[in-house]
Amino acid sequence: MSSEPSDSLTAGMREDTVSTRMSWQAFGERIRGLREKRGLTREALAEKTGVSAVYIKKLEAGERTSPSLPALASIARGLDATLRIELVERATTRKRRG
């Protein structure tokens, strides 16, 4: 596995970052904003990424709440953005009743 920062999906802290910590609605708005900033239609982004325009439309509308990581990675690359995913420990844990 390469440790090259430029090859990593989480490399670099650039302005054009999409994070899964935001709501799915905000996530979709971020994708749409980056797509429009790049001057791309949904169809052009679909062609560039191999992800269907309908899938992209549903992501942008916040209707896809469990998109696949490969699809998100393709979209991020197509938008020349960084996809940042964090795995963080929960602040508190609930005890199970037994």
Amino acid in position 35? R
User: pLDDT per residue over 56-86, tens digit each?
Assistant: 999 999 998 889 999 999 999 999 999 988 7
Pick from 34, 93, 86: nearest CA to 59: 34
The model's pLDDT over 13-35, given as tens digits with 9 standing for 90+, comes to 445 555 555 688 888 999 999 99
Contact 12, 82 (CB under 8 A): yes
CA distance 77 to 3: 18
- Domains of the chain are 21-84 (1.10.260.40)
Check: pTM over 0.75? Answer yes or no.
no
